[in-house]
Structure 1
Protein backbone atom coordinates (compact mmCIF):
# COMPACT_ATOMS: atom_id res chain seq x y z
CA UNK A 1 0.00 0.00 0.00
CA UNK A 2 2.73 2.46 0.95
CA UNK A 3 4.81 1.74 -2.16
CA UNK A 4 1.76 2.04 -4.44
CA UNK A 5 0.83 5.39 -2.89
CA UNK A 6 4.41 6.56 -3.36
CA UNK A 7 4.31 5.66 -7.06
CA UNK A 8 0.96 7.44 -7.50
CA UNK A 9 2.35 10.50 -5.71
CA UNK A 10 5.44 10.66 -7.92
CA UNK A 11 3.31 10.40 -11.07
CA UNK A 12 0.98 13.17 -9.88
CA UNK A 13 3.92 15.27 -8.73
CA UNK A 14 5.53 14.97 -12.16
CA UNK A 15 2.54 16.79 -13.66
CA UNK A 16 2.65 19.43 -10.93
CA UNK A 17 6.34 19.93 -11.66
CA UNK A 18 5.66 20.32 -15.38
CA UNK A 19 3.02 22.97 -14.66
CA UNK A 20 5.25 24.80 -12.19
CA UNK A 21 8.32 24.76 -14.45
CA UNK A 22 6.65 27.12 -16.90
CA UNK A 23 5.41 29.29 -14.04
CA UNK A 24 8.86 29.58 -12.47
CA UNK A 25 10.50 30.16 -15.87
CA UNK A 26 8.11 33.03 -16.56
CA UNK A 27 8.74 34.58 -13.16
CA UNK A 28 12.48 33.99 -13.24
CA UNK A 29 12.99 35.61 -16.65
CA UNK A 30 10.19 38.16 -16.97
CA UNK A 31 9.90 38.98 -13.25
CA UNK A 32 6.13 38.91 -13.33
CA UNK A 33 3.56 36.83 -11.45
CA UNK A 34 1.26 36.18 -14.37
CA UNK A 35 -2.12 35.06 -13.02
CA UNK A 36 -3.35 34.19 -16.51
CA UNK A 37 -0.96 31.22 -16.39
CA UNK A 38 -3.69 28.93 -15.05
CA UNK A 39 -5.80 29.74 -18.09
CA UNK A 40 -3.09 28.32 -20.37
CA UNK A 41 -3.49 25.05 -18.44
CA UNK A 42 -7.23 24.98 -19.17
CA UNK A 43 -6.68 26.07 -22.79
CA UNK A 44 -4.32 23.16 -23.45
CA UNK A 45 -6.82 20.67 -22.06
CA UNK A 46 -9.70 22.04 -24.16
CA UNK A 47 -7.60 22.12 -27.33
CA UNK A 48 -6.72 18.46 -26.76
CA UNK A 49 -10.39 17.69 -26.11
CA UNK A 50 -11.36 19.25 -29.46
CA UNK A 51 -8.54 17.51 -31.33
CA UNK A 52 -9.35 14.07 -29.97
CA UNK A 53 -13.15 14.29 -30.14
CA UNK A 54 -13.70 16.38 -33.29
CA UNK A 55 -10.53 16.00 -35.37
CA UNK A 56 -9.75 12.37 -34.61
CA UNK A 57 -6.24 12.98 -33.24
CA UNK A 58 -4.51 10.37 -31.10
CA UNK A 59 -3.03 11.44 -27.79
CA UNK A 60 0.56 11.52 -29.11
CA UNK A 61 -0.47 13.99 -31.82
CA UNK A 62 -2.91 15.97 -29.69
CA UNK A 63 -0.46 16.55 -26.82
CA UNK A 64 2.19 18.59 -28.73
CA UNK A 65 -0.42 20.46 -30.80
CA UNK A 66 -2.41 21.39 -27.69
CA UNK A 67 0.78 22.46 -25.91
CA UNK A 68 1.77 24.73 -28.81
CA UNK A 69 -1.78 26.08 -28.99
CA UNK A 70 -1.59 27.04 -25.33
CA UNK A 71 1.81 28.59 -26.03
CA UNK A 72 0.27 30.73 -28.77
CA UNK A 73 -2.46 31.85 -26.34
CA UNK A 74 0.28 32.78 -23.85
CA UNK A 75 2.12 34.91 -26.42
CA UNK A 76 -1.08 36.70 -27.43
CA UNK A 77 -2.06 37.48 -23.83
CA UNK A 78 1.47 38.57 -22.94
CA UNK A 79 1.45 41.01 -25.86
CA UNK A 80 -2.04 42.26 -25.00
CA UNK A 81 -1.65 42.63 -21.23
CA UNK A 82 2.02 42.93 -20.32
CA UNK A 83 4.17 44.19 -23.21
CA UNK A 84 3.27 47.83 -22.66
CA UNK A 85 3.92 47.53 -18.91
CA UNK A 86 7.41 46.20 -19.66
CA UNK A 87 8.13 49.09 -22.02
CA UNK A 88 7.29 51.70 -19.37
CA UNK A 89 8.98 49.74 -16.54
CA UNK A 90 5.75 49.58 -14.54
CA UNK A 91 5.99 48.23 -10.99
CA UNK A 92 5.33 44.53 -10.38
CA UNK A 93 2.00 45.28 -8.69
CA UNK A 94 0.70 46.69 -11.99
CA UNK A 95 1.27 43.44 -13.85
CA UNK A 96 -0.25 41.48 -10.99
CA UNK A 97 -3.45 43.52 -11.07
CA UNK A 98 -3.66 43.52 -14.89
CA UNK A 99 -3.32 39.74 -15.10
CA UNK A 100 -5.81 39.31 -12.23
CA UNK A 101 -8.42 41.24 -14.18
CA UNK A 102 -7.44 39.41 -17.35
CA UNK A 103 -7.82 35.94 -15.90
CA UNK A 104 -11.22 36.74 -14.36
CA UNK A 105 -12.43 37.95 -17.75
CA UNK A 106 -10.97 34.89 -19.52
CA UNK A 107 -12.57 32.39 -17.15
CA UNK A 108 -15.92 34.15 -17.40
CA UNK A 109 -15.75 34.17 -21.21
CA UNK A 110 -14.69 30.50 -21.34
CA UNK A 111 -17.54 29.48 -19.04
CA UNK A 112 -20.07 31.46 -21.10
CA UNK A 113 -18.90 29.88 -24.35
CA UNK A 114 -18.08 26.34 -23.23
CA UNK A 115 -20.35 25.97 -20.21
CA UNK A 116 -19.36 24.89 -16.70
CA UNK A 117 -19.95 21.17 -17.24
CA UNK A 118 -17.14 18.67 -16.93
CA UNK A 119 -16.01 17.22 -20.26
CA UNK A 120 -14.18 13.93 -20.75
CA UNK A 121 -11.64 12.71 -23.26
CA UNK A 122 -12.61 9.75 -25.48
CA UNK A 123 -12.57 6.55 -23.41
CA UNK A 124 -10.48 4.67 -25.99
CA UNK A 125 -7.82 7.39 -26.26
CA UNK A 126 -5.37 5.43 -24.10
CA UNK A 127 -5.45 1.69 -23.50
CA UNK A 128 -6.92 0.77 -20.13
CA UNK A 129 -4.27 -1.90 -19.55
CA UNK A 130 -2.29 -1.84 -16.32
CA UNK A 131 1.18 -3.21 -15.71
CA UNK A 132 2.14 -4.86 -12.43
CA UNK A 133 5.82 -4.55 -11.58
CA UNK A 134 7.05 -5.84 -8.20
CA UNK A 135 3.51 -5.66 -6.91
CA UNK A 136 3.00 -2.06 -8.07
CA UNK A 137 0.17 -1.27 -10.48
CA UNK A 138 0.84 1.36 -13.15
CA UNK A 139 -1.66 2.22 -15.89
CA UNK A 140 -0.84 3.07 -19.47
CA UNK A 141 -2.04 6.64 -18.89
CA UNK A 142 0.34 7.02 -15.94
CA UNK A 143 3.25 5.75 -18.01
CA UNK A 144 2.35 8.24 -20.73
CA UNK A 145 2.30 11.06 -18.17
CA UNK A 146 5.68 10.07 -16.78
CA UNK A 147 7.27 9.69 -20.23
CA UNK A 148 5.85 12.96 -21.59
CA UNK A 149 6.94 14.87 -18.48
CA UNK A 150 10.44 13.41 -18.61
CA UNK A 151 10.83 14.34 -22.30
CA UNK A 152 9.64 17.93 -21.81
CA UNK A 153 11.67 18.52 -18.65
CA UNK A 154 14.76 17.08 -20.35
CA UNK A 155 14.21 19.27 -23.41
CA UNK A 156 13.85 22.38 -21.23
CA UNK A 157 17.03 21.58 -19.30
CA UNK A 158 18.93 20.96 -22.53
CA UNK A 159 17.66 24.25 -23.96
CA UNK A 160 18.59 26.27 -20.89
CA UNK A 161 22.02 24.73 -20.29
CA UNK A 162 23.25 23.62 -23.70
CA UNK A 163 22.27 26.26 -26.26
CA UNK A 164 23.03 29.90 -27.04
CA UNK A 165 19.32 30.62 -26.78
CA UNK A 166 19.31 29.25 -23.24
CA UNK A 167 22.33 31.41 -22.45
CA UNK A 168 20.45 34.48 -23.73
CA UNK A 169 17.42 33.58 -21.59
CA UNK A 170 19.60 33.22 -18.50
CA UNK A 171 21.31 36.51 -19.27
CA UNK A 172 17.95 38.25 -19.54
CA UNK A 173 16.89 36.70 -16.25
CA UNK A 174 19.99 38.05 -14.49
CA UNK A 175 20.30 41.52 -16.02
CA UNK A 176 17.65 42.43 -18.65
CA UNK A 177 19.09 45.90 -19.28
CA UNK A 178 22.61 44.55 -19.76
CA UNK A 179 21.27 41.79 -22.03
CA UNK A 180 19.64 44.43 -24.23
CA UNK A 181 22.89 46.39 -24.42
CA UNK A 182 24.70 43.22 -25.54
CA UNK A 183 22.43 42.95 -28.57
CA UNK A 184 19.81 40.51 -27.25
CA UNK A 185 16.32 41.28 -28.56
CA UNK A 186 14.58 41.23 -25.17
CA UNK A 187 11.13 41.78 -26.70
CA UNK A 188 11.31 38.67 -28.87
CA UNK A 189 12.93 36.71 -26.07
CA UNK A 190 10.09 37.65 -23.71
CA UNK A 191 7.60 36.36 -26.29
CA UNK A 192 9.60 33.13 -26.63
CA UNK A 193 9.67 32.62 -22.85
CA UNK A 194 5.90 33.18 -22.75
CA UNK A 195 5.48 30.60 -25.52
CA UNK A 196 7.62 27.98 -23.75
CA UNK A 197 5.84 28.61 -20.45
CA UNK A 198 2.44 28.35 -22.14
CA UNK A 199 3.46 25.08 -23.81
CA UNK A 200 4.44 23.58 -20.46
CA UNK A 201 1.18 24.73 -18.86
CA UNK A 202 -0.89 23.44 -21.77
CA UNK A 203 0.85 20.07 -21.71
CA UNK A 204 0.21 19.87 -17.97
CA UNK A 205 -3.49 20.52 -18.61
CA UNK A 206 -3.67 17.70 -21.14
CA UNK A 207 -1.92 15.26 -18.80
CA UNK A 208 -4.03 16.16 -15.77
CA UNK A 209 -7.17 15.90 -17.93
CA UNK A 210 -5.97 12.49 -19.06
CA UNK A 211 -5.14 11.35 -15.53
CA UNK A 212 -8.44 12.39 -13.91
CA UNK A 213 -10.53 12.40 -17.13
CA UNK A 214 -12.20 15.67 -16.14
CA UNK A 215 -11.87 18.91 -18.12
CA UNK A 216 -13.64 22.18 -17.29
CA UNK A 217 -12.87 25.91 -17.73
CA UNK A 218 -11.80 26.51 -14.11
CA UNK A 219 -9.43 23.54 -13.85
CA UNK A 220 -6.45 25.87 -14.09
CA UNK A 221 -7.60 27.89 -11.09
CA UNK A 222 -7.02 25.04 -8.64
CA UNK A 223 -3.62 24.37 -10.17
CA UNK A 224 -2.49 27.93 -9.53
CA UNK A 225 -2.42 27.32 -5.76
CA UNK A 226 -0.20 24.32 -6.34
CA UNK A 227 1.92 26.36 -8.73
CA UNK A 228 2.49 29.01 -6.07
CA UNK A 229 3.37 26.36 -3.50
CA UNK A 230 5.86 24.70 -5.83
CA UNK A 231 7.70 27.84 -6.95
CA UNK A 232 7.89 29.24 -3.41
CA UNK A 233 8.98 25.96 -1.81
CA UNK A 234 11.44 25.26 -4.62
CA UNK A 235 12.75 28.83 -4.74
CA UNK A 236 11.49 31.66 -6.92
CA UNK A 237 12.92 31.28 -10.41
CA UNK A 238 14.79 28.03 -9.63
CA UNK A 239 13.96 25.34 -12.23
CA UNK A 240 15.62 22.51 -10.31
CA UNK A 241 13.78 23.53 -7.16
CA UNK A 242 10.43 23.63 -8.99
CA UNK A 243 10.99 20.09 -10.27
CA UNK A 244 11.82 18.68 -6.83
CA UNK A 245 9.08 20.64 -5.03
CA UNK A 246 6.48 19.51 -7.57
CA UNK A 247 7.33 15.86 -6.98
CA UNK A 248 7.25 16.38 -3.20
CA UNK A 249 3.87 18.11 -3.34
CA UNK A 250 2.37 15.26 -5.38
CA UNK A 251 3.62 12.67 -2.91
CA UNK A 252 2.37 14.65 0.10
CA UNK A 253 -1.08 15.13 -1.47
CA UNK A 254 -1.46 11.44 -2.27
CA UNK A 255 -0.41 10.38 1.23
CA UNK A 256 -2.74 12.96 2.77
CA UNK A 257 -5.67 11.67 0.71
CA UNK A 258 -4.78 8.04 1.38
CA UNK A 259 -4.01 8.15 5.09
CA UNK A 260 -5.76 11.25 6.45
CA UNK A 261 -8.64 12.70 4.37
CA UNK A 262 -8.96 13.57 0.70
CA UNK A 263 -10.58 16.92 1.52
CA UNK A 264 -7.43 18.11 3.29
CA UNK A 265 -5.17 18.07 0.22
CA UNK A 266 -5.55 21.80 -0.50
CA UNK A 267 -5.20 22.64 3.21
CA UNK A 268 -1.92 20.74 3.39
CA UNK A 269 -0.62 22.56 0.30
CA UNK A 270 -1.49 25.92 1.87
CA UNK A 271 0.10 24.88 5.19
CA UNK A 272 3.34 23.99 3.41
CA UNK A 273 3.31 27.38 1.68
CA UNK A 274 2.86 29.24 4.97
CA UNK A 275 5.53 27.25 6.84
CA UNK A 276 8.12 27.80 4.09
CA UNK A 277 7.37 31.53 3.98
CA UNK A 278 7.78 31.71 7.76
CA UNK A 279 10.99 29.71 7.95
CA UNK A 280 12.77 30.15 4.61
CA UNK A 281 11.23 32.90 2.44
CA UNK A 282 13.75 32.30 -0.36
CA UNK A 283 12.61 28.67 -0.71
CA UNK A 284 14.48 25.41 -0.19
CA UNK A 285 16.73 25.95 -3.20
CA UNK A 286 16.48 29.72 -3.72
CA UNK A 287 19.12 32.27 -2.86
CA UNK A 288 18.32 35.02 -0.41
CA UNK A 289 18.72 38.49 -1.88
CA UNK A 290 20.74 40.90 0.22
CA UNK A 291 19.50 44.46 -0.08
CA UNK A 292 21.91 47.29 0.62
CA UNK A 293 21.13 50.91 1.19
Structure 2
Protein backbone atom coordinates (compact mmCIF):
# COMPACT_ATOMS: atom_id res chain seq x y z
CA UNK A 1 0.00 0.00 0.00
CA UNK A 2 2.81 2.40 0.90
CA UNK A 3 4.53 1.62 -2.40
CA UNK A 4 1.30 2.34 -4.28
CA UNK A 5 0.86 5.69 -2.49
CA UNK A 6 4.46 6.63 -3.27
CA UNK A 7 3.96 5.87 -6.95
CA UNK A 8 0.65 7.75 -6.93
CA UNK A 9 2.50 10.83 -5.72
CA UNK A 10 5.03 10.39 -8.52
CA UNK A 11 2.13 10.03 -10.98
CA UNK A 12 0.62 13.33 -9.79
CA UNK A 13 3.96 15.06 -10.31
CA UNK A 14 4.44 13.73 -13.86
CA UNK A 15 0.75 14.20 -14.73
CA UNK A 16 0.92 17.84 -13.63
CA UNK A 17 3.71 18.48 -16.14
CA UNK A 18 1.91 16.65 -18.95
CA UNK A 19 -1.31 18.53 -18.20
CA UNK A 20 0.36 21.95 -18.41
CA UNK A 21 1.92 21.14 -21.78
CA UNK A 22 -1.31 19.57 -23.06
CA UNK A 23 -3.17 22.81 -22.30
CA UNK A 24 -1.04 24.60 -24.91
CA UNK A 25 -1.99 22.05 -27.57
CA UNK A 26 -5.67 22.15 -26.72
CA UNK A 27 -5.93 25.97 -26.58
CA UNK A 28 -4.38 26.46 -30.02
CA UNK A 29 -6.51 23.70 -31.49
CA UNK A 30 -9.64 25.11 -29.91
CA UNK A 31 -9.05 28.51 -31.51
CA UNK A 32 -7.42 27.70 -34.86
CA UNK A 33 -8.16 23.95 -35.26
CA UNK A 34 -4.45 23.36 -35.86
CA UNK A 35 -1.93 21.28 -33.93
CA UNK A 36 1.10 23.30 -32.86
CA UNK A 37 3.65 20.50 -33.08
CA UNK A 38 6.37 22.97 -32.05
CA UNK A 39 4.82 23.17 -28.58
CA UNK A 40 6.99 20.37 -27.19
CA UNK A 41 10.08 22.30 -28.25
CA UNK A 42 8.74 25.45 -26.59
CA UNK A 43 8.58 23.34 -23.42
CA UNK A 44 12.27 22.59 -24.02
CA UNK A 45 12.99 26.31 -24.46
CA UNK A 46 11.32 26.92 -21.09
CA UNK A 47 13.72 24.45 -19.48
CA UNK A 48 16.68 26.20 -21.09
CA UNK A 49 15.39 29.61 -19.98
CA UNK A 50 15.40 28.19 -16.45
CA UNK A 51 18.97 26.95 -16.93
CA UNK A 52 20.20 30.28 -18.32
CA UNK A 53 18.52 32.46 -15.70
CA UNK A 54 19.60 30.25 -12.81
CA UNK A 55 23.16 29.84 -14.12
CA UNK A 56 24.03 33.36 -15.25
CA UNK A 57 21.67 35.63 -13.30
CA UNK A 58 21.63 33.48 -10.12
CA UNK A 59 18.02 34.35 -9.40
CA UNK A 60 15.73 32.45 -7.06
CA UNK A 61 12.86 30.18 -8.10
CA UNK A 62 10.01 32.72 -8.46
CA UNK A 63 11.91 35.22 -10.70
CA UNK A 64 13.29 32.32 -12.74
CA UNK A 65 9.81 30.90 -13.25
CA UNK A 66 8.30 34.26 -14.22
CA UNK A 67 11.12 35.18 -16.62
CA UNK A 68 10.93 31.74 -18.26
CA UNK A 69 7.16 31.92 -18.68
CA UNK A 70 7.31 35.44 -20.12
CA UNK A 71 10.21 34.55 -22.42
CA UNK A 72 8.46 31.48 -23.82
CA UNK A 73 5.18 33.41 -24.15
CA UNK A 74 6.88 36.14 -26.22
CA UNK A 75 8.55 33.49 -28.37
CA UNK A 76 5.21 31.74 -28.87
CA UNK A 77 3.54 35.00 -29.97
CA UNK A 78 6.42 35.75 -32.36
CA UNK A 79 6.16 32.27 -33.89
CA UNK A 80 2.42 32.68 -34.36
CA UNK A 81 2.80 36.05 -36.06
CA UNK A 82 5.70 35.03 -38.31
CA UNK A 83 5.01 31.37 -39.11
CA UNK A 84 1.32 30.63 -38.52
CA UNK A 85 -0.61 33.83 -39.23
CA UNK A 86 0.17 33.82 -42.99
CA UNK A 87 -1.18 30.25 -43.19
CA UNK A 88 -4.59 30.71 -41.56
CA UNK A 89 -6.39 30.35 -44.88
CA UNK A 90 -3.99 27.72 -46.26
CA UNK A 91 -4.66 23.96 -46.19
CA UNK A 92 -4.15 22.48 -42.72
CA UNK A 93 -1.28 20.32 -43.90
CA UNK A 94 0.72 23.50 -44.62
CA UNK A 95 0.34 24.64 -41.01
CA UNK A 96 1.30 21.20 -39.71
CA UNK A 97 4.45 21.09 -41.84
CA UNK A 98 5.33 24.63 -40.73
CA UNK A 99 4.86 23.69 -37.07
CA UNK A 100 7.17 20.70 -37.49
CA UNK A 101 9.69 22.97 -39.21
CA UNK A 102 9.53 25.49 -36.36
CA UNK A 103 10.16 22.68 -33.89
CA UNK A 104 13.21 21.49 -35.84
CA UNK A 105 14.51 25.06 -35.97
CA UNK A 106 14.20 25.47 -32.18
CA UNK A 107 15.96 22.15 -31.57
CA UNK A 108 18.87 22.88 -33.89
CA UNK A 109 19.20 26.52 -32.82
CA UNK A 110 19.54 25.36 -29.21
CA UNK A 111 21.91 22.59 -30.32
CA UNK A 112 24.32 25.18 -31.76
CA UNK A 113 24.89 26.68 -28.31
CA UNK A 114 24.38 23.59 -26.13
CA UNK A 115 25.24 20.40 -28.04
CA UNK A 116 25.60 18.42 -24.81
CA UNK A 117 23.18 17.86 -21.91
CA UNK A 118 23.26 20.58 -19.28
CA UNK A 119 22.75 20.40 -15.52
CA UNK A 120 20.27 22.84 -14.02
CA UNK A 121 21.28 24.47 -10.71
CA UNK A 122 19.22 23.60 -7.67
CA UNK A 123 16.83 26.47 -6.93
CA UNK A 124 14.77 24.92 -4.15
CA UNK A 125 15.63 23.55 -0.71
CA UNK A 126 15.95 19.78 -0.56
CA UNK A 127 13.29 19.20 2.08
CA UNK A 128 11.50 15.87 2.46
CA UNK A 129 8.84 14.59 4.82
CA UNK A 130 7.99 11.04 5.79
CA UNK A 131 4.22 10.60 6.07
CA UNK A 132 3.38 7.09 7.19
CA UNK A 133 6.23 5.63 5.16
CA UNK A 134 5.56 7.75 2.06
CA UNK A 135 8.42 10.12 1.20
CA UNK A 136 7.15 13.53 0.09
CA UNK A 137 9.57 16.16 -1.16
CA UNK A 138 9.06 19.91 -1.16
CA UNK A 139 9.69 19.90 -4.93
CA UNK A 140 6.88 17.40 -5.55
CA UNK A 141 4.42 19.42 -3.47
CA UNK A 142 5.44 22.62 -5.26
CA UNK A 143 5.11 21.12 -8.75
CA UNK A 144 1.66 19.66 -8.06
CA UNK A 145 0.36 22.73 -6.22
CA UNK A 146 1.74 25.23 -8.75
CA UNK A 147 0.38 23.22 -11.67
CA UNK A 148 -3.09 23.07 -10.14
CA UNK A 149 -3.04 26.82 -9.41
CA UNK A 150 -1.98 27.63 -12.99
CA UNK A 151 -4.71 25.36 -14.38
CA UNK A 152 -7.35 27.00 -12.17
CA UNK A 153 -6.19 30.47 -13.27
CA UNK A 154 -6.36 29.45 -16.93
CA UNK A 155 -9.80 27.93 -16.50
CA UNK A 156 -10.98 31.13 -14.79
CA UNK A 157 -9.59 33.29 -17.63
CA UNK A 158 -11.27 31.18 -20.31
CA UNK A 159 -14.62 30.81 -18.55
CA UNK A 160 -15.07 34.10 -16.66
CA UNK A 161 -13.26 36.93 -18.46
CA UNK A 162 -13.92 38.95 -21.62
CA UNK A 163 -10.74 37.60 -23.20
CA UNK A 164 -11.91 34.06 -22.49
CA UNK A 165 -15.33 34.85 -23.92
CA UNK A 166 -13.66 36.12 -27.09
CA UNK A 167 -11.55 32.95 -27.28
CA UNK A 168 -14.65 30.78 -27.01
CA UNK A 169 -16.44 32.89 -29.60
CA UNK A 170 -13.58 32.55 -32.08
CA UNK A 171 -13.54 28.83 -31.44
CA UNK A 172 -17.25 28.69 -32.26
CA UNK A 173 -17.20 30.78 -35.44
CA UNK A 174 -14.16 32.89 -36.26
CA UNK A 175 -15.73 34.25 -39.46
CA UNK A 176 -18.52 36.08 -37.60
CA UNK A 177 -16.57 37.30 -34.55
CA UNK A 178 -14.64 40.09 -36.38
CA UNK A 179 -17.98 41.63 -37.43
CA UNK A 180 -18.78 42.07 -33.73
CA UNK A 181 -15.67 44.15 -33.12
CA UNK A 182 -13.52 41.45 -31.54
CA UNK A 183 -9.79 41.93 -32.32
CA UNK A 184 -9.17 38.42 -33.61
CA UNK A 185 -5.41 38.79 -34.10
CA UNK A 186 -4.96 40.09 -30.57
CA UNK A 187 -7.04 37.26 -29.07
CA UNK A 188 -5.13 34.63 -31.05
CA UNK A 189 -1.85 36.13 -29.81
CA UNK A 190 -3.19 36.06 -26.25
CA UNK A 191 -4.10 32.39 -26.73
CA UNK A 192 -0.59 31.56 -27.87
CA UNK A 193 0.90 33.59 -25.01
CA UNK A 194 -1.18 31.77 -22.39
CA UNK A 195 -0.63 28.31 -23.86
CA UNK A 196 3.10 28.67 -24.40
CA UNK A 197 3.66 30.30 -21.00
CA UNK A 198 2.19 27.19 -19.37
CA UNK A 199 4.55 25.09 -21.50
CA UNK A 200 7.40 27.27 -20.24
CA UNK A 201 6.28 26.73 -16.64
CA UNK A 202 6.20 22.98 -17.27
CA UNK A 203 9.75 23.22 -18.67
CA UNK A 204 10.96 24.92 -15.49
CA UNK A 205 9.32 22.30 -13.26
CA UNK A 206 10.66 19.44 -15.34
CA UNK A 207 14.16 20.94 -15.29
CA UNK A 208 14.06 21.10 -11.50
CA UNK A 209 12.62 17.60 -11.08
CA UNK A 210 14.92 16.00 -13.69
CA UNK A 211 17.83 18.45 -13.73
CA UNK A 212 19.63 17.25 -16.88
CA UNK A 213 18.24 18.88 -20.03
CA UNK A 214 19.08 18.70 -23.74
CA UNK A 215 17.76 20.24 -27.00
CA UNK A 216 15.80 17.12 -27.93
CA UNK A 217 14.00 16.65 -24.62
CA UNK A 218 10.79 18.20 -25.95
CA UNK A 219 10.19 15.68 -28.72
CA UNK A 220 8.94 12.65 -26.78
CA UNK A 221 7.46 14.68 -23.94
CA UNK A 222 5.65 16.88 -26.45
CA UNK A 223 4.14 13.85 -28.15
CA UNK A 224 3.01 12.46 -24.81
CA UNK A 225 1.42 15.78 -23.89
CA UNK A 226 -0.34 15.73 -27.26
CA UNK A 227 -1.63 12.25 -26.38
CA UNK A 228 -2.88 13.69 -23.09
CA UNK A 229 -4.79 16.40 -24.96
CA UNK A 230 -6.34 13.86 -27.33
CA UNK A 231 -7.24 11.47 -24.51
CA UNK A 232 -8.99 14.24 -22.59
CA UNK A 233 -10.63 15.67 -25.71
CA UNK A 234 -8.50 18.10 -27.68
CA UNK A 235 -9.99 21.57 -27.65
CA UNK A 236 -11.35 21.04 -24.13
CA UNK A 237 -9.35 22.73 -21.35
CA UNK A 238 -10.52 20.48 -18.52
CA UNK A 239 -10.16 17.45 -20.74
CA UNK A 240 -6.48 18.28 -21.29
CA UNK A 241 -5.96 18.42 -17.52
CA UNK A 242 -7.65 15.06 -17.03
CA UNK A 243 -5.73 13.52 -19.92
CA UNK A 244 -2.41 14.68 -18.48
CA UNK A 245 -3.08 13.10 -15.09
CA UNK A 246 -4.36 9.89 -16.72
CA UNK A 247 -1.25 9.51 -18.87
CA UNK A 248 1.08 10.35 -15.98
CA UNK A 249 -0.63 7.73 -13.82
CA UNK A 250 -0.52 5.08 -16.55
CA UNK A 251 3.20 5.67 -17.22
CA UNK A 252 4.27 5.62 -13.58
CA UNK A 253 2.20 2.57 -12.69
CA UNK A 254 3.41 0.63 -15.73
CA UNK A 255 7.02 1.45 -14.84
CA UNK A 256 6.43 0.60 -11.16
CA UNK A 257 4.66 -2.75 -11.60
CA UNK A 258 6.02 -4.04 -14.92
CA UNK A 259 9.05 -3.37 -17.10
CA UNK A 260 9.76 0.36 -17.42
CA UNK A 261 10.53 -0.07 -21.13
CA UNK A 262 6.78 -0.71 -21.69
CA UNK A 263 5.70 2.78 -20.59
CA UNK A 264 5.91 4.37 -24.07
CA UNK A 265 4.24 1.36 -25.67
CA UNK A 266 1.34 1.64 -23.22
CA UNK A 267 1.10 5.42 -23.64
CA UNK A 268 0.73 5.25 -27.41
CA UNK A 269 -1.43 2.14 -27.14
CA UNK A 270 -3.78 4.11 -24.87
CA UNK A 271 -4.17 6.74 -27.60
CA UNK A 272 -4.91 4.09 -30.22
CA UNK A 273 -7.53 2.31 -28.10
CA UNK A 274 -9.23 5.57 -27.14
CA UNK A 275 -9.41 6.77 -30.73
CA UNK A 276 -11.09 3.51 -31.70
CA UNK A 277 -13.78 3.56 -29.02
CA UNK A 278 -14.09 7.30 -28.29
CA UNK A 279 -12.65 9.34 -31.17
CA UNK A 280 -13.40 12.70 -29.53
CA UNK A 281 -11.70 11.93 -26.21
CA UNK A 282 -13.14 11.79 -22.70
CA UNK A 283 -14.65 15.27 -22.61
CA UNK A 284 -14.39 16.10 -26.29
CA UNK A 285 -17.41 16.74 -28.48
CA UNK A 286 -17.68 16.36 -32.25
CA UNK A 287 -17.35 19.64 -34.09
CA UNK A 288 -20.48 20.73 -35.91
CA UNK A 289 -19.79 21.39 -39.58
CA UNK A 290 -21.41 24.70 -40.52
CA UNK A 291 -22.79 24.93 -44.06
TM-score range (shorter-chain normalised) is over 0.9
- Matched with 1:41 is 43
Q: What is the Cα deviation at residue 83 of structure 1?
A: 0.8
* Cα shift at 1:290: 5.4
What does the per-residue CA deviation read over 1:233-265, in whole Å, with 9 as the maximum and x for residues that have no partner? Answer: 111201111111111111111111111111121
- Deviating beyond 6 angstroms after TM superposition, the runs of 4 or more aligned structure 1 residues are none
* Among candidates 107, 111, 136, match of residue 134 of structure 2: 136
Cα separation, 1, equivalents of 2:290 and 2:60 = 55
What is the correspondence of 1:1-293 to structure 2 with a 5 Å cutoff? 1-86=3-88, 89-115=89-115, 117-123=116-122, 125-289=123-287
Structure 1 Cα separation of the partners of residues 131 and 32 of structure 2: 43
How high is the TM-score relative to the length of structure 1?
Answer: 0.95
Q: Any conservation in 1 of the 2:40–2:223 contact (CA below 8 Å)? A: no
Task: Give the distance between the partners of 1:128 and 1:224, measured in 2 at CA.
Answer: 28
Which sections of structure 1, spanning at least 5 residues, go unmatched?
A: none
How many positions carry a matched residue from both structures? 289
**Distance in 2, Cα, partners of 1:182 & 1:80:** 26
- Structure 2 segments unaligned to the other structure (5+ residues): none
Cα displacement string for residues 164-195 of structure 1 (whole angstroms, at most 9, x for unaligned residues):
11111111111111111111010111111111
- 1:43 Cα shift? 0.9
Distance 1:147 1:180 in 2: 38
Secondary structure in structure 2 of the residue aligned to 1:137: strand
TM-score, normalization: structure 2?
Answer: 0.96
Report the Cα offset of residue 281 of structure 1. 0.8
Cα offset for 1:133? 2.3
Q: In 2, distance between residues paired with 1:163 and 1:292?
A: 26
Q: Distance in 2 between matches of 1:132 and 1:179?
A: 54
CA apart distance, 1:291: 5.2
